[in-house]
Amino acid sequence: MKKYDIALFDLDGTLSESEEGILDSVRTIFKETKRPLPAERVIRSFIGPPMYDSLIRCGFEQEDARKAMEIYKRSYIESGIYKNKLYEGIDDVLRKLKSEGVRLGVASSKYQKFTDRVINMLGIEEFFDMVGGSTLKSDKPIDGCKPRWSKLDVINYVIDDLRTGKDDRIVMIGDTGFDAEGAARAGVDFIGCIYGYGTKEDMEENYSIGTPIFAENPMDIIPIIIG
């Protein structure tokens, strides 16, 4: 008997190896805005949280951050997006979970259009019942949907679509403290992927409602979810 009815996957660092494309586009922002390039650890911290929030954290004013987002979007569309690849074994994980009747969703802080495009490019769209990404703060609500600016917003958006009853057992799978925090705030279990870009310590610290279960590689996820 499966342990969870619904499994939500982060995208970057969980389903796909995306570091190269994201960081190249982040570096393009600093180059084109003629700002000093931050230390590598700061650049790497852009993987995971919403891009706008990371820009503000690096000293961009709101209007400058919005312009920087346009630079990022252009660079990512032109080249960054094509540097994504699936982690080895992820397709087998998704296929097995789907065959066991687990409802699968993507809950990514990446902009919705990029999330959709990456999932399709990786060829794994068939496995997911729902794909959720973030919206820009400048976006207007579409079809009555609320804006999705935080990880919690995206998680709740996907859960609302996949949930069939209040007794559904739900788990979020991610690789950063932001994923862990979003899962904790949503009140769902959390699997931390230590093969991704975050750290075990950061995920433990930010999952405030319990202790995460950790997966050292993608195949570890299967027995955690279906027992």
**Domain positions in the chain:** 6-17+84-226, 19-82
CB 65 within 8 A of CB 56: yes
CB 175 within 8 A of CB 169: no
Cα 24 to Cα 27: distance, rounded to the nearest angstrom: 5
Q: What is the dihedral of CA 120, 121, 127, 133, to 10 degrees?
A: -60
CB 163 within 8 A of CB 8: no
Annotate 130-160 with b (16+ C-beta within 10 A) or e (fewer). bbbbbbbeeeeeeeeeebbbbbbbbbbbbbe
Cα 163 to Cα 151: distance, rounded to the nearest angstrom: 18
Annotate 65-103 with b (16+ C-beta within 10 A) or e (fewer). beebbebbbebbeeebbebbeebeebbebbeebbeeebb
Task: Please determine whether the domains at 6-17+84-226 and 19-82 fall in the same fold group of CATH.
Answer: no
Q: What's the residue count for the chain?
A: 227
CATH match of 19-82 with 1.20.120.420: no
CA distances in angstroms from 52 to 72, 148, 181, 218, listed in the order given: 10, 12, 18, 29
Which parts of the chain register pLDDT below 50?
none
pLDDT at 141: 54
Cα 179 to Cα 202: distance, rounded to the nearest angstrom: 10
CATH class held by domain 6-17+84-226: alpha beta
Annotate 189-224 with b (16+ C-beta within 10 A) or e (fewer). bbbbbebbbbeeebbbebbeeeebbbbeebebbbeb
